[in-house]
A and B are shown apart, each in its own frame.
Chain A
């Protein structure tokens, strides 16, 4: 029997409504007990967590691990190392690999590779459509049996309402949510930044917020008829958030995530950074009023999760003309520190709420275990320290890619350790 005691820390666990100085005793990978003054017992190991926060393992429900196919950007190994370094015990990876994860063999290959390394749990998200082409449904049942926890054509929106309706209906057979990259490509598809004041100044083609709103609205209308579960990926506009808030008030199976960059940066950043391609992603950095609406969404509970949309790209790909650069930035190794410093320390949300957004919320949205450390639960744990100051330095990233707009930001708070089923994850 393996025993581990995490002792003296502040347990913040929104999964069971706990925020208190409590010890956790873990036996054979599961939580045995939580309480005060617990003992590891003979042969047990003790981790001293005095002064640290102990949280259910953080889950990033939206990452791109790039393997198979684009290993020069990221691999399952480097991506899960980045997850562990960033305080995450689990990631859900999007299917837009090469080939896309649209069938059981690809799902199995991803899981096999993930298990070989064991830095973080990997929950593959399967494609909605074969080849992510937006035409025919992929073999969702086969993929779910192989381990897929949700379906999405992320990178591409599901444009056909017919296909989206089928996906929402069909996914219910397997109990998985449908995740949509909500963007109507029929409006402003050649855009490279948010359409507004700053695109007007910079002469860059705009991506209108309405393209996202249209898709969220359409999908909610479909969801009303189909039932099932629908999740908006990287929601970025005030209007889309309002649509989700309204839909939730009617108890639709509706959830959404927002990214740290949409919470902390705006379209102005493109100008202030002199066209830095690290400010180019989809959805684009939006207006200040959108940003403030997203923060209000964190506060009132409309937002279910913070997800990074970790999108590694090679430096050579990003070091080109703004219009020619690929969309996306990495996030696994900055999300927690950004949340601790710019959301919690800035008094925008409580520490408790941040843990909810990074752990309990995504676990619920995906319907996976985790997000709680009650007796019997799997002992995936994240320890972090809210005090130390550190500068974001991509050179130290475990990820293969360095594409971040947060370079040089001074942030207070950092992950200390992660545990998977009661075992400390070692990166060295």
Chain B
């Protein structure tokens, strides 16, 4: 594994990665974690490199995390958000890509509402493309930071029982997480209302259950997902109240999990809908550690992808 070097131009999804590549990313993140603990949080690793953050969907957490990672690596970064980008003016994505390419960036971080857009961009530009979330498809850096956090607490993944609860159908976090954890040997369970479970869910490589109790039983890791009832089709769920009653995580319910369970959430949280506040802020929660680890993981991703370019030149 130590001989493995990163050869990919892009990070489009966990689906493409081998277990060894995932481990390499996590190990690299480990070495960057320390940078954020220093008083001067900056290394010159990406000095002179240009990173474009292209966000076609609102995002606070992921975008800030990437920006901070870029700054701590001394990269020059540039932000396009949907409010200022060409798309609003009716420019096609292909033209946006070609225009960006003309400015020779080294890396492009992209968030888009439609699955497959980072893949499309990656084919058109020489820059490395990092998928920061494409519709309900993948969110690879989120899965990597989740895995990094799990590894810190549990040491490894083999046989680990991980349960992910919520709107499975519309979640990119689930897809990337299930793929990643499955590749590293964890046993993943997904749970949620039947109306929020995609048809064909078995293909993801996770066991599907339809009760919170069953999902929590004996779990080492519990990951709660944000549920956006207002975005659901009219038939998916009647009310937030009923959602919390059936699938909301409370202290009492969490007792079904292992005694050393860790509780995760990719954020932003809906307190009182998928999770009670006392659980979110309680002793099992590692939610803020996830956020902190996100910076280290993204530094690792930026570093490894930029290295490919250096070799190619």
Contacts and interface: CB of A to CB of B under 8 A. Distances in A.
A200 B200 contact: yes
Q: Report, as a range, how many residues of chain A touch the other chain.
A: 20 to 34
Contacts of B134: 203
A320 B96 CA distance: 11
Contact of A201 (B120, B135, B204): B204
Contact of A198 (B92, B117, B203): B203
Interface in B200-243: 200-204
A316 B123 CA distance: 16
Given A197-B203, A198-B203, A203-B170, 19 more contacts: A195-B199, A196-B199, A197-B202, A198-B200, A199-B198, A199-B199, A200-B200, A200-B203, A200-B204, A201-B203, A202-B137, A203-B134, A206-B198, A319-B94, A320-B92, A321-B112, A321-B120, A322-B114, A323-B113
B198 A274 contact: no
B138 interface: yes
Nearest to A209: B199
B132 to A, nearest CB: 14
A203 B135 contact: yes
A202 B115 contact: yes
A324 interface: yes
A321 B203 contact: no
B119 A204 contact: no
Interface string B102-127: 00000000001111110110010000
A170 interface: no
Given A316-B92, A319-B92, A324 B114 contact: yes
Interface in A51-75: none
B72 interface: no
A156 interface: no
A322 B116 contact: yes
A208 interface: yes
B175 interface: yes
Sorted nearest first, the 10 A-B pairs with minimum C-beta distance are A275-B116, A203-B136, A203-B137, A200-B200, A197-B200, A197-B203, A200-B198, A321-B114, A323-B114, A196-B200
Interface string A236-271: 000000000000000000000000000000000000
Contacts of B94: 319-320
Contacts of A319: 92, 94
Given A319-B92, A323-B114, A200 B138 contact: no
Given A198-B200, A198-B203, A199-B199, A204 B92 contact: no
B93 A320 contact: yes
A412 to B, nearest CB: 31
Interface string A313-343: 0001001111110000000000000000000
B172 interface: yes
A322 B117 CA distance: 8
Contacts of B136: 203-204
Nearest to A189: B233
B175 A203 contact: yes
B173 to A, nearest CB: 11
A200 B117 contact: no
A204 B203 contact: no
Given A275-B119, A320-B93, A200 B114 contact: no
Nearest to A201: B203
B174 to A, nearest CB: 9
Contacts of B119: 274-275
B199 A203 contact: no
Contacts of B175: 201, 203
B120 A275 contact: yes
A203 B115 contact: yes
Contacts of A197: 200, 202-203
A321 to B, nearest CB: 4
B200 to A, nearest CB: 4
Given A201-B175, A321-B116, A208 B199 contact: yes
